[in-house]
Amino acid sequence: MAEIADSHEKDMVEIKGGVYILGSERGNYDERPVRKVQLETFWIDKHEVTCAQYQRFLEDVRKHGHLWCHLSEPANKDHTPFHTYAWALKFSWVGGQPPRGMGNFPVVLTDWYDAYAYAKWAGKRLPSEDEWEAAARGGDGREYPWGNTFSQDRCNIGDQPLAVGSFPDGVSPWGVFDMAGNAAEWTTTAYEPRPADSKLFTGRFGLPIIRGGSWDDNSKTCRSAARDVRRSPLYRSTTVGFRCVSDKEPWLLVPGVR
């Protein structure tokens, strides 16, 4: 199986187990109420998954088949990031190759099944929305990863995605990059109007939640508690990518093992 050489691949941050303040009274109705949630220790990718990393996953799928794919995904699904819309061609892959010069950009045009399969291939999984929010906010329930006041100098809200880690002043309290803007991110939580009612997305019923806002969003949707974006698991967009988490220490992970 493919060997991981990219420094980002095992560059993960430990999120300590404990009680976290999630939700917001100042956002949409589906962010309420503010609540305390107990989480176990986990590790999260410091950066969004890049095109270069995703390319190695695609190579393994082509060599070994759909070993890491969700049982509910369409048969013989193509995991190549691609969309036929004209506005998406700039970010679409051709012949298994990412767009030129975007190797260190977050991989976008990936649907939920693509993200799930990559995470499993990497020996990881997708985060729940609670895990994602805790990694973005830290333990004090702040509005944005860097504090309570929005700053466009701390996140990528602009014309297109940028290389991961381009906004070091916007890291979360844990040191996680791009949790606001750049690419919005898939989670493994199925949407319910009340956060406490949300369940694991099984790949069949419900709509998985997308977190974090993107380069095409605004200060409201880039808040760490914002959770009003949910889509079909087959949804692909130039604004949506993902990152992974692990219940094990990163140095124990073996990519490519089923």
- CB of 184 within 8 A of CB of 214? yes
Exposed, middle or buried: residue 214 (CB in 10 Å: 0-12, 13-18, 19+)?
buried
Domain assignment present for residue 7? The answer is no
**C-alpha to C-alpha distance for 258 and 237, rounded to whole angstroms:** 28
Domain assignment present for residue 244? The answer is yes
- Specify the pLDDT at position 7: 52
Domain count across the chain: 1
Provide the domain limits for residue 32: 12-252
- Specify the pLDDT at position 26: 86
H/E run at residue 234: none
| pTM of the complete model beyond 0.85 | yes
Exposed, middle or buried: residue 155 (CB in 10 Å: 0-12, 13-18, 19+)?
buried
| Cα dihedral 4/119/215/191 (nearest 10) | -170
**Contacts of residue 252, Cβ cutoff 8 Å, sequence gap at least 6:** none
Length of the chain: 258
> Confidence class of residue 117 from pLDDT cuts 50, 70 and 90?
very high
For residue 133, is pLDDT > 70? yes
Domain assignment present for residue 4? The answer is no
In tens, the pLDDT along 162-218 reads 999 999 999 999 999 999 999 999 999 999 999 989 999 998 889 999 999 999 999
Q: What separation in angstroms does the CA of 172 have from each of 70, 105, 108, 136, 167?
A: 31, 19, 22, 5, 11
CATH of the domain at 181: 3.90.1580.10
